[in-house]
Each structure stands twice: as C-alpha cells, then as structure tokens.
Amino acid sequence: MPIRLRHRTVHGYRRAFRMAGKGRAILLIHGIGDSSDTWRDVMPGLARSYRVIAPDLLGHGASDKPRADYSLPAYANGMRDLLGVLGVERVTLVGHSLGGAVAMQFAYQFPERCERLVLVGTGGISRQVTPLLRAATLPGAELLLRALQLPTMGWQVSALVRVLRALDTGLGVDAEDLVRVVDALPDGTARSAFIRTLRAVVDWRGQVGTMLDRCYLAQGMPTMLVWGGRDQVIPATHAGLGHVAMPGSRLEIFEDAGHFPFRSDPQRFEAVLRDFMSTTEPAPYSPEQWRRLLRTRRPDRVLSA
C-alpha cells in the first residue's frame, strides 16, 4: 500500500515528505534529482518496526524549488528543522548519493541528533565521480536537460538504455533509474534547482569537497556503508576508502547492483538495515566527548566502547 505524501511549511517553503510506522526513527535521504518515492520498495517493510521518514529535499520532488541555498550545510539544517516540526529528537540517518553527503553533514553539525549512520553509494568521500555529473555542471547544462524532455528525444534515450543493457555495462545497470531522475525535472524551476544543487558539490574536476578530514569523528557512531559493486556513478572504490576512514564501520557490497542497491534488491537492503539496527546501540553523545575528539582525534573510553 503506498505511503501518502504529506506537507509542512518550514521557513515559508513547502516541504514534502512521507512518514509511516512507530518506534525509533529512521530518516531516509534521497540523492540528487530524486525524491522520497525512490524508497517506496523499502519503506513499508521498515515501517512495521520503525518510524520511517523520507523527505523530498528542497528543490526536489514535490517540495518547493526556490532560488535558495542548496549547499550541504543548508540541506542538513533543513533536515534538522523538518524533524523539529515533526517532533523527532534523534534519528538513524540513511543517505543515498547526495543524501549520504547530507547525512554526514547532519551528523557533523548535529551529532546529538544522530543515533546511527548508513551511507548508500554516498557522495562526499572522495573526488571521483562519473563524467556525466561533471559535464552537467558546465555552462549550457540546463539547456541540455531541457532538450532531453523533448518528445523526439524519448525514443533515442530508450534506444540508448537498451544498448547499454545489452552490452552489460556498469552504466546500463542504472540507466533506467538515471533516465527516471532526468524525467523528474519537468520544468525550468526543477532543472534550475538540480543544477544549483549539483554545482554546490561537483565541478568539472569532480566532487568539490570530501568528509575524509572529519571521518575520525565517526568513532563511537555506529556506521554502515552499502554500495553496489557495479556502481559507475560513484565507484565502489569509495566504499573501501570510507570503510577504512571510519573506525568500526561495516561494509556491505551488493555485487550485481549499481548506484541504487536499495532498488535493485530491496529485500536484501531491508534485511541488512534491520540487522544493523538490531545489533547496534544508538550512539552516545556528550559535549565533552565531542570536544575531546576535536582536540585529540582520539576517543575516550566511553566513545570507544
């Protein structure tokens, strides 16, 4: 049964989100150009045990698309404020792609609000990213996105998808989902928000910034990385880098999946997430522990427990 879309107005902007279930809260954050609907195959099952919240980020889906700040800190602030409106104090963060970078930023800005961290094909670990995203940051990209909406382009794009699949390429695994994301940009405001968001995190050389310099702060935070072994958007080598940089983290590779493992195999994804939730305790937090980490890069005995 579909989980209906709801709306709240925060700071004058209409925010769309889906919410279901009771219990400890899980916040599902989608990737760039996507929406909360991307989680539709895993939300109903998770909602049987948890309170699951999946927002449409500002500039995405059914949320407003103003001329606004689409940086990672702004998105993290938006997640905090939406949770405040909903009366949710602490969450397990599950972020996909751009949403993973938002989740890491949220955990960095508001560690007292974060119980666990799950990063799915996440951005923000290393510079490398698919040339398609780098090209989309160049001048004229919005005109190209507009051209892809033309009826005459539909059959050409469909033909390309079939070819990529037939050749069994890594990009072919995700071709249908990538086309779905482009098709979800129906007008100028949506395309403008997409470009603004992308340029905040990527330029022609790759990802603008990484969280590797702050990954030591994940000590004491239950963390899991989930990646598709055939991910060509953000290569699976990033999973290994993140796993090493985040002490005590878990790593799950979906060998045959691309950039959307939770869509390729939702049953396995749900099982992996449930196991992670049931075998870890929410992260403890105190200002003194946080200060110690910042000063020494070493955990105290409570954080390392």
Instruction: Return all residues near 68 (Cβ < 8 A) that are at least 6 apart.
Output: 13, 58, 59, 74
Q: What is the 3-state composition of the chain as percent helix, strand, coil, each rounded to the nearest 5?
A: 45, 15, 35
> How many other CB atoms are found less than 10 A from the CB of residue 192?
18
Decide if 97 is catalytic. yes
178, with CB counted inside 10 A (0-12, 13-18, 19+), is buried
Looking up tokens 């390392």, which residue turns up?
304
Decide if 243 is catalytic. no
Asked if 305 and 219 touch (Cβ cutoff 8 Å), the reply is no
Question: Six-digit token pair at 81?
Answer: 């404020």
Catalytic residue among 37, 64, 174, 231: 231
Asked if 29 and 95 touch (Cβ cutoff 8 Å), the reply is yes
Decide if 259 is catalytic. yes
Asked if 105 and 76 touch (Cβ cutoff 8 Å), the reply is yes
Catalytic residue among 97, 126, 249, 264: 97
Question: Six-digit token pair at 290?
Answer: 């946080």
Catalytic residue among 34, 36, 259, 264: 259
Between vectors from CA 199 to CA 198 and to CA 203, what angle results, nearest 5°?
Answer: 110
Question: What is each CA distance from 179 to 48, 159, 167, 172, 248, in whole angstroms?
Answer: 31, 12, 17, 11, 36
d(CA 268, CA 275): 11
Which residues carry out catalysis? 97, 231, 259
